[in-house]
Structure 1
Amino acid sequence: MRLSWFVLFALLCVASLMVGARELAGSTLFALPDDTWLTLTASRLPRLAALILIGIGLAVCGVILQQIVRNRFVEPSTSGGLDAARLGILLSLGLAPSAGNLVRMLFALAFCFAASLLFVAIIRRIRVKNTVLVPVIGLMYGGVLSAVAEFYAYRINMLQSMQGWLLGDFSKVVQGRYEIIYVILPIIAVTYLYAHRFTVVGMGEGMATSLGLNYAAHVALGLLLVAVTVSASVITVGAIPFVGLVIPNLVALRHGDNLRRTLPLVALGGAALLLACDIIGRLLIYPFEVPIGLTAGGLGGMIFLGLILWRQR
Structure 2
Amino acid sequence: MTTLDRTSTSTLPHLRPRRSWVGVLVGVLLVVLALTSLFVGVSDVSPASVLTGGPDSDAAFLLVASRIPRTLAVILVGASLGIAGLIMQMLVRNKFVEPSTTGVTEFASLGMLTTMVFFPGLAVVGKMGVAAAFGLVGTWVFLRVVRFVPVRQLVLVPLVGIMLGGVVGAVTTFFAYRLDLLQSLGQWSQGSFATIMQGRYEFLWIAGAMVVVAWIAADRFSVIGLGEEFATNLGLDYRRVVAVGMLVIAVITAAVLVTAGMIPFLGLVVPNVVSLIIGDNVRRAIPWVAGTGAVFVLACDLIARVVRMPYEIPLSVIVGVVGAVLFLWLLLRRGSRAH
**Other-structure match for 2:100:** 77
Equivalent in the alignment of 1:20: 41
- Residue 23 of structure 1 deviates from its aligned partner by 3.7
SS in 2 for 1:126: coil
Match 2:314 to one of 283, 291, 297: 291
Task: Summarize the Cα distance change of 1:32–1:242 in structure 2 as closer, same or farther, 3 Å threshold.
Answer: farther
> Is structure 2 residue 291 aligned with structure 1 residue 277?
no
Determine helix, strand or coil for the equivalent of 1:104. Answer: helix
Query: Does 2:325 correspond to 1:302?
Result: yes
Partner SS for 2:333: helix
Please tell me the residue identity of whatever aligns with 1:207. F
State which of 18, 24, 31 in structure 1 corresponds to 2:52: 31
Number of the residue aligned with 1:190: 213
For residues 156 and 93 of structure 2, what CA distance do their matches in structure 1 show?
Answer: 13
Match of 2:89 in 1: 66
Matched AA of 1:181: L
What's the counterpart of residue 138 of structure 1?
A: 161
- Residue 97 of structure 1 deviates from its aligned partner by 0.5
Which structure has the larger Rg over C-alpha atoms? 2
The CA distance in 2 between the partners of 1:235 and 1:31, in whole Å, is 37
Return the offset for 1:37.
0.9
Tell me the SS of whatever aligns to 1:239.
coil
Shift of the alpha carbon at 1:36? 1.1
Distance 1:135-1:105 versus aligned 2 partners, 3 A rule: same
Deviation at 1:311, TM superposition (A): 5.0
TM-score normalised by structure 2 residue count: 0.90
Q: Residue in 2 aligned with 1:157?
A: 180
Match of 1:8 among 22, 29, 36: 29
- 2:18 paired residue number: none
1:122 equivalent to 2:145? Answer: yes
User: Which residue of the partner structure matches residue 250 of structure 1?
Assistant: 273
Deviations 1:77-111 (A, max 9, x none): 10001111111000011001111111111110111
Q: Deviation at 1:155?
A: 2.4
Post-superposition shift, 1:61? 0.1
The Cα shift of 1:312 comes to 7.3
CA drift of 1:128 comes to: 4.6
Residues 131-179 of structure 1, C-alpha deviation per residue, up to 9 Å, x if partnerless?
0111111111000010110111122210111221332010000111111
Q: What's the secondary structure of 1:125's corresponding residue? A: coil
Unaligned runs of 5+ in 2: 1-20
Aligned length: 313
Are positions 1:203 and 2:226 aligned together?
A: yes
The answer for the alignment partner of 1:219 in structure 2 is 242
2:290 aligned residue: 267
Q: Aligned partners of 1:271, 1:127: CA distance in 2, in Å?
A: 33
Question: What amino acid is the match of 1:123?
Answer: V
Instruction: Give, in whole Å, the separation in 2 of the partners of 1:106 and 1:165.
Output: 15
The amino acid that maps onto 2:43 is R
CA change 1:140–1:311 in 2 (3 A) is farther
Percent of aligned pairs sharing the same letter: 41
User: Equivalent residue of 2:42, what SS?
Assistant: coil
Is 1:168 the equivalent of 2:183?
no
Cα distance in 2, alignment partners of residues 32 and 149 from structure 1: 49
Return 216-225 or 163-172, whichever deviates more: 163-172
Instruction: Give the Cα separation in 2 of the matches to 1:306 and 1:83.
Output: 25
CA RMSD of aligned residues (A): 1.2
Q: Provide the rounded CA distance (Å) in 2 between the counterparts of 1:253 and 1:273.
A: 16
Residue by residue over 1:54-76, the C-alpha shift from the partner in whole angstroms, topping out at 9 and shown as x without a partner, is 11110000000000000001001
Query: In structure 2, how many angstroms separate the alpha carbons of the residues matched to 1:283 and 1:88?
Result: 33
- Give the AA of the match of 2:29: L
Distance in 1, matches of 2:89 and 2:53, equals: 45
Partner of residue 101 from structure 1, selected from 124, 133, 155: 124
For the residues of structure 1 that align with 2:250 and 2:314, how far apart are their CA atoms? 23
CA distance in 1, matches of 2:317, 2:38: 21
In the alignment, the residues of structure 2 paired with residue 9 and residue 16 of structure 1 have an alpha-carbon distance, to the nearest angstrom, of 10
**Cα deviations by residue, 1:27-76 (Å, 9 ceiling, x for unpaired):** 22433531111111110001011101111110000000000000001001
